[in-house]
Amino acid sequence: MTTDAETWRAQVLTILPELFPGPLAASLSGRALVEGRWSLAAIDIRDFATDVHRSVDDTPAGGGPGMVMRADILGAALDHAAERLAGVPTIYLSPRGTPLTQARVRALAEGPGVTVLCGRFEGVDERVLEARDVEEVSIGDYVLSGGEIAAMVLIDAVVRLLPGVVGDAGSLREESFEQGLLEYPHYTRPRDWEGRAIPEVLLSGDHGRIADWRRAEAERLTRERRPDLWERRKKG
């Protein structure tokens, strides 16, 4: 069991708290959760509603489709979260946020934790984002039903970087996004499978040639699949 000071803390504000920890309770993140390397609290936004129906949304000012999450209820939920856990950034997951990057994930892992606000419906009242110093983050250019699965993505990406969660520190240092390249191709036994051989160089035992081949393959894949990453790498 890890001491209190080294526990990374996540709290998630959501109208679907039963979704958590969900997949984060499995595998390496789940073991680390049990070991106390990180903690997770799912806070039900409906607990801050003020009517008998516990409603959190209302019709958009100016008209239009869908519903908007109310500023007063979200403000109360965020204030409760800040009292429970002070000194951590607040991230609102939204399709119009700045794209999540490995650099932001790394910075979060180096800090004490995060408060994550999950949207549902069309979004949240803009005033709450201004009034509570909220950072708006997207996980990519596709449309989800809500922020909860995005919150799991964000937390998974952070937790695997915490000390003692992933066994081999070398595998973290060498991994693709840390180098600005996609990963080289991997092979294992059988040596021949359905008439397909493993590239000869990988069986040569020549570690210099193997490293050169892997670097060349990583560069080729990055150029072909991710010209955006390739351009940034040449500059940086």
Q: State yes or no: residue 150 binds ligand 9D3 (CB under 6 A).
A: yes
Antiparallel, parallel or unpaired: β 68-69 and 123-124: parallel
Choose, by CB under 6 A, the member of 6, 31, 107, 140 that binds ligand 9D3: 140
Choose, by CB under 6 A, the member of 5, 61, 86, 143 that binds ligand 9D3: 143
Name which of 55, 157, 42, 179 is nearest 101 in CA terms. Answer: 157
Q: State yes or no: residue 119 binds ligand 9D3 (CB under 6 A).
A: yes
CA separation for the pair 204, 194 (Å, rounded): 22
If 0-12 CB within 10 Å is exposed, 13-18 middle and 19+ buried, where does residue 146 land? middle
Q: Which of residues 51-70 bind ligand 9D3 (CB under 6 A)?
A: none
Antiparallel, parallel or unpaired: β 196-197 and 192-193: antiparallel
Choose, by CB under 6 A, the member of 89, 95, 111, 180 that binds ligand 9D3: 95
Which span (46-54, 138-146, 174-182, 207-215) binds ligand 9D3, by CB under 6 A?
138-146
Q: How distant is the alpha carbon of residue 168 from its chain centre?
A: 20
Rg value, the chain, Cα: 22
Q: State yes or no: residue 139 binds ligand 9D3 (CB under 6 A).
A: yes
Q: State yes or no: residue 94 binds ligand 9D3 (CB under 6 A).
A: yes
Q: Which residues bind ligand 9D3 (CB under 6 A)?
A: 93-95, 119, 122-123, 138-140, 142-144, 146-147, 150
